[in-house]
Amino acid sequence: MISPVSSLPRSANRPRPEATPYVDLTRTEWSALRDKTPLPLTAEEVEKLRGLGDVIDLDEVRDIYLPLSRLLNLYVGATHGLRGALNTFLGEQGSQSGTPFVIGVAGSVAVGKSTVARLLQALLARWPEHPRVERVTTDGFLLPMKDLRERGLVSRKGFPESYDRRTLTRFVADIKAGKDEVTAPVYSHLIYDIVPDRRLTVRRPDILIVEGLNVLQPALPGKDGRTRVGLADYFDFSVYVDAHADDVERWYLNRFRKLRETAFQDPSSYFRKYTQVSEEEALDYARTQWRTINKPNLIENIAPTRGRATLIIRKGSDHKVKRLSLRKL
């Protein structure tokens, strides 16, 4: 005899799995995808690449970033092949053969996105197909402190409106267009400002990595209401580094504590004054910065762009990557 429950349609027995554009993978499943890719970095090189407070080691590089470098190498080759097919269709043989592959890396302050970007640069440059890999941070496109003060945006530093978004987008567009030489402003974390009369020069890279808080933000509509081209529209692949906000706050405070013992000691440091007070007073300042600036920016602007990424790297409380979500094609 068939029970009433089992005779019901399958959809009535249990809920359908939630539709998602991503394939979710555990760390073990992801690690298996590196397909014998050799590890080209030494422990000393990894130590130089990791950020202050980051706990990345050779196991993390082998399990997480080697498979990612293999995937990106496949993407670069496939993208060049697709461009070649498009050029053939348009009758423009070879016109875009030198178009750089652009990768965006997004995530909160202190989540470890700079380490991810540096590791990818080092690993991707070791593939013979694309030895010239450049990395640019969006810090160089922050408005100078003078402008931020005039516009009342000092307490919004790091929010989308604190950047010269038009210049940043034009910079990446020029590189994508294959210009021989493109320059960008340089930001100093020491002086907490743009460095006057100093420029970063990028010359026709095979791959460009653009790292920043808000690189996945969609373009804002123009004054005429029309949608404009945004920075993320130039990305061929994008990575979002994700973690629970409470963990990121703890990492942020730990990093501030270590900076107070190191870089903040420099007489030129904008934050040197926090080495002249007690540790608790300094950490109170850091907590205020997190709760009034960095956390609101994460919640309001950064985290909502997570679903625009090609790959989401999810970290646990120990800073180790636990799961990854890769967008389906």
Residue list for the binding site: 107-114
Q: Residue holding tokens 């970007």? A: 117
Closest to 202 measured CA to CA, from 179, 235, 230? 179
Distance, in Å, from the CA atom of 93 to the CA atom of 85, rounded to the nearest integer, reads: 9
Q: Which residues pair with 315 in a beta bridge?
A: 321
Is 324 in contact with 30 (CB distance < 8 Å)? yes
Distances (CA, A) of 233 to 30, 66, 181, 268, 326: 27, 26, 21, 38, 18
Q: Which residues pair with 242 in a beta bridge?
A: 314
> What one-character DSSP code corresponds to residue 201?
E
Distance, in Å, from the CA atom of 61 to the CA atom of 46, rounded to the nearest integer, reads: 8
What are the residues whose beta carbons fall under 8 Å from the beta carbon of 174, sequence distance 6 or more? 182
- The gap between the terminal CA atoms of the chain, to the nearest Å, is 44
Structure tokens at 165: 């978004």
Question: Residues annotated as binding site for ATP?
Answer: 107-114
The Cα angle at residue 178 between residues 177 and 184, in degrees rounded to 5: 85
Closest to 101 measured CA to CA, from 197, 30, 175, 40? 175
Q: Residue holding tokens 């030494």? A: 42
Is 81 in contact with 99 (CB distance < 8 Å)? no
Q: Are strands 207-211 and 101-107 parallel, antiparallel or unpaired?
A: parallel
